[in-house]
Structure 1
Amino acid sequence: MEFSHNDNNNLPLTKFESMLKTNHVLFFDSEEFENIIHHYLNQGKIALAKKAIKLGLGQHPTSVNLRLFKVEVYVFEDKIEEADALLNELYNIDSTNEEIYIQKANIFSKQDNHEKAIEVLKKALTLTDDTVDLYSLIGMEYLFLDEYENAKKYFMKCLEADIDDYSALYNIIYCFEFLNQYEDAISYLNLFLDKNPYCEVAWLQLGKQYLMLEDYDKALAAFDFAIISDDTFVGAYLERGKVLEKLKRYEEAIENYSVTLKLDDPTSFALLRIGHCHERLKNNELALQYFDRTVHEDPLLDKGWIAITKYYKKRHNFQKALYYINKAINIDSENVQYWKLYSQINQRLNLFEEAERGFKKTLELGNYELNTWLSRADLLVKLGELEGAIFNLEQAQDFYPENAEIEYRLAGAHFSLNQNNKGLFYLKNALKLNEDFSFILDELFPDVINKIAVKKLLKANL
């Protein structure tokens, strides 16, 4: 039994907590102790659970269930040897108690011995008629082994035993999706809905499968049935909004997203999508309002800051764009997308040192896209830092060997430093790789293009 402070079943819990404050020991039957311990474990109050176990075993030293709770705490605290030893004692006392097998399987699972955990759980199945939780545990162990077909089979058994087990339903669909079995998922969900036609979660999952297959009309119909089944189902309105966006029915999408704002606390996702829909409809002021609400609702949502920055960037209001991307970076200085936007905006403002710093930070954060290396190199050339540009391009070669755009830049930088032999070496490589990119020299290194050796080599190849 789970205690609630809003009902009359919490008397043992109140009595227990009062006892802890007064140090006056009171008697509880073993079942009351079990409920108290279960409550504390569910609440994550391990210290209180341990106190209850100790007091419970003091009053009921032979209780197998109370000792099983002790095993559970041992496992939680990674005291595996103690847990194992106590389980062996309990097994000798009551070898038909399925909870002993469940805790043994839990230990095997923590040791990454999932095959053995499954074997023990299957043994537990033979000892009880209450199989739902065991099916679920076996399914999870198969998930750990990446055996999705077997996992799916046991989650299906779980759902057959309890049609209201939405956790099992989600896991079944997860397996179908991981295996790319979208059509099979649709067939399964349709069979399930034949028996449970008002299951809004199943309708939602069915709509998502159609969405994966880009069958938008059927996806909309499924989400409609989810809403008919439960007209307060926020998830269905959100998914319906996504489909309507894909169909470019932006006004209807806004209506669906707006419903969620009335049903529950506003989510940053809904606010952001409404903003994007208004932007598509050229309702620029409204778009901006919703982007602004998005970042106020969830300052950690990068998509919100990116949306508001790009809004101003598209309209060439680079100062405003820079203001917002700086605010975003102050919140999360490790976000690659922020630094890329920061560099692009500073570049448009001719703030080349800041732009170069942004691309350098982007690379430091592990974004090794070719364009990032090239953009930084071009800025270093523009700033007259040719040796820095060469070092940057040589690093880029580790990721993009035999790339003509890199080779032309290396050639130009070396020629600019009067390192003509190296310049010729890289220019020959570049011309072999792709003659069409020779314009790079003209754009980035106009002085180099007039060198006799360069003219001669280009003429011979073009």
Structure 2
Amino acid sequence: MEDEFLNNELIEQFEHMLDHKENIYFDTEQLQEIISFYLDVSDFEYAKKALDYAFSLHPDHHDLKVKKIEYHLSLTQLKKAAELITELKDILSDDLEYLLVVARFWAIKDLPKKAIQFYKKAALHEEDLDFIYNCIGNEYLNLDEVSSALEYFLKALEYSEDNDFSFYSIIQCYNELHAYQDCINFLKTYIDENPYSEIAWGQLGAQYEQVKQLEDALEAYDYVTVINPTSISGYTQKGNILTQLGRYEEAILTLEESLEYDDSPAITYLVIGECYEKLNLPLKALKSYHLSIKEDPQLDKVWARTSALYSKSENYQEALFYLNRAIDLDDRNVEYWKAHCYILIKLGKYEEAITSYRTIVDIEPFRLNNWIALIEANIVMEEYQTAIQEGQKALKHFNRAEIHYQLSSIFFQINDELQGKEHLEKALTLDASIKEEYFLKYPILHRFHTKSDE
């Protein structure tokens, strides 16, 4: 067993007995404690040894059989558990431990209504109510009855104010119900009774963010950092709110405070850099981005942000270097590929840009604008046959006027007037309202349209 458990004299005594092949007498309560210990730490091999030894001393003891049901449930041996449940049904029908294992049995069987029925019977004993009410809450969540789940999690918290499971479950329920103001009221009441709860203040800040009360959120996160001056999440959330409020200088100062306690500050440096960009201080932003990269070279976002900064200053070669690294780290990010196309076009690398456009279409084949951009890139490069092929592929997904206008212009360019007119007619039938836009873009369309009118 793990060293941390070796201070348990009863466990030490039992394991010493096994190691030395001795026989020591344990009463049923001691054996239940031993079995429970092994089940709690998921050591099922020793739990089985403890059960076997227990039945060798007390072969027909009912409480030990309940422990055996627990053992079977832990291993999802439902048939064996069911046999013992049936055997003990008339004998232990009102026993707390028996009711709890039967409730757990039905929960594992994914029959929450039956589980709730037995948990409610167990609650009549008025013992372990925080645990029982939490279990009932979980089963109501399985039934998607969030309001009922919330009711029982609140009851559980009444019996154990420091129960983190109940607390977080309550927050989860309020969020699922989109009852943010009710959650805020709950948290205020909770904080009145637990004014130094860092967790509660943090959750209060998050709820205020949901309802866009950013100043109140900022005040809540302030309390988090007052209660715990080393709270990285507190500083981070404060910085995030200050950024949303446009108070970038304060955001930077707040985030810099967290660096003293942050073992992995890459994201913090990234956000600081973004704040410097908002303040039009690109050199300071670039320094922060480089510090972020140094802290975590696997963070694709900072490579992309660095690329965007170089691109903004028209240093496209550097921008391409950093963006290539971002794409290496996340090659399914469409925004990276779109930026990649832009930079390649600026560098005059049109064929490579077309390859990037094709990648975008592969990742997002059901976005019309991706196809339009790919076809347009081929038109610009006068790769008309490829543009026609891409256009025909696009029509399989979208029978849209935009694509027909593009195809019409291409066919007119290659002197295939028949197909040019056919696609132009389809385009005008589908959407004549964008005619002028495309006639301006492709003057050849206007010329042939005027010619046909004559």
What TM-score do the two structures reach when normalised by structure 1? Answer: 0.82
Whole-angstrom CA distance in 1 between matches of 2:349 and 2:6: 68
The answer to which of 310-319 and 360-369 deviates more is 360-369
* Structure 1 vs Structure 2 CA RMSD: 3.3
Alignment partners' CA distance in 2, 1:336 and 1:430: 28
Deviation, structure 1 residue 245: 0.8
Q: Deviations over 1:98-144 (max 9, x none)?
A: 45444444454445433333333333323451111222222222223
Whole-Å separation in 1 of the counterparts to 2:298 and 2:91: 54
**Does 2:48 correspond to 1:54?**
yes
Counterpart among 267, 274, 277 of residue 276 in structure 1: 274
Deviates more, 1:139-148 or 1:149-158: 139-148
CA distance in 1, matches of 2:4, 2:158: 33
175, 178, 185: which one aligns with 1:177: 175
Q: Deviations over 1:157-190 (max 9, x none)?
A: 1222222223322222222223222222222222
Query: In 1, distance between residues paired with 2:161 and 2:209?
Result: 24
Structure 2 equivalent of residue 415 of structure 1: 412
Contact 2:364 2:370 in 1 (8 A): no
Aligned-residue offset at 1:449? 4.0
* Equivalent position of 1:73 in the other structure: 74
Residue 450 of structure 2 aligns with an amino acid whose one-letter code is: K
Q: Is the 1:142–1:148 Cα contact (8 Å) retained in structure 2?
A: yes
> What's 1:129 paired with?
127
Aligned partners of 2:332, 2:14: CA distance in 1, in Å?
Answer: 48
The amino acid of 2:335's aligned partner reads Q
1:40-73 CA distances to partner (integer Å, 9 max, x unpaired)?
A: 32xxxxxxx1211221112112523541442233
Aligned residues: 442
Q: Which amino acid aligns with 1:60?
A: A
Amino acid at match of 1:244: L
Corresponding residue number in structure 2 for 1:455: 450
1:386 corresponds to 2:384? yes
* 8 A contact 1:139–1:150 mirrored in 2: yes
Q: Shift in Å at residue 36 of structure 1? A: 4.3
Do the aligned partners of residues 156 and 32 (structure 1) sit closer, same or farther apart at CA in structure 2, a change above 3 Å counting? Answer: closer
Query: Larger deviation: 160-169 or 261-270?
Result: 261-270
Q: Deviations over 1:23-44 (max 9, x none)?
A: 8567685255335414532xxx
Residues 367 and 125 (structure 1), Cα distance of their counterparts in 2 relative to 1, 3 Å cut: farther
Counterpart Cα distance in 1 of 2:223 and 2:16: 50
Change (3 A) 1:85 1:321: farther
Name the CA distance, whole Å, in 1 between partners of 2:210 and 2:96: 41
CA distance, structure 1, for counterparts of residue 11 and residue 320 of structure 2: 56
Alpha-carbon displacement from aligned partner over 1:417-462 (angstroms, at most 9, x marks no partner): 444333223323433514445443554x56x4475x33335x78xx
Matched residues in 2 for 1:415 and 1:276: separation?
A: 48
Partners of 1:206 and 1:12 in 2: CA distance? 44
- The corresponding residue for 1:64 is 65
2:352 pairs with one of 351, 354, 359: 354
How much has 1:296 moved relative to structure 2? 4.7
Asked if the contact 2:184–2:207 (Cα under 8 Å) also holds between the matched residues in 1, the reply is: yes
- Aligned pairs for 1:62-461 (under 5 A) are 62=61, 63-64=64-65, 66-75=67-76, 79-89=77-87, 91=89, 94-299=92-297, 301-366=299-364, 368-397=366-395, 400-402=398-400, 404-432=401-429, 433-440=431-438, 443=441, 445=442, 448-449=444-445, 453-457=448-452
Amino acid at match of 2:73: E
| CA displacement, residues 267-301 of structure 1 (integer Å, 9 cap, x when unaligned) | 44323212211222333333223323434544554
Report percent identity of matched pairs. 31
1:409 touches 1:441 (CA, 8 Å); kept in 2? no
CA contact (8 A) 2:69 2:81 kept: no
Shift of the 343–202 alpha-carbon distance from structure 1 to 2, 3 Å rule, reads: same
Cα distance, 1:395–1:88 mapped onto 2, change above 3 Å: farther
Distance 1:72 1:218, change over 3 A: same
Residues 52 and 336 from structure 1, CA distance in 2 versus in 1: closer, same or farther, beyond 3 angstroms? farther
Structure-1 residue corresponding to 2:58: none
Local SS of the residue matching 2:75: helix
Structure 1 residues 272 and 99, CA, compared in 2 at 3 Å: closer, same or farther? farther
Q: Which runs of 5+ in 2 are unaligned?
A: 56-60
Which deviations, in whole Å up to 9, do the C-alpha atoms of 1:210-263 show, x marking residues without a partner?
Answer: 222222222222222233333333322221111111122222212222233323
- Counterparts of 2:188 and 2:281, CA distance in 1: 40
Once the two structures are superposed, residues 380-429 of structure 1 have per-residue CA deviations (whole angstroms, 9 ceiling, x without a partner) of 32344434433433444455544x32231122233334443332233234
1:421 counterpart SS class: helix
The one-letter amino acid of 2:93's match is S
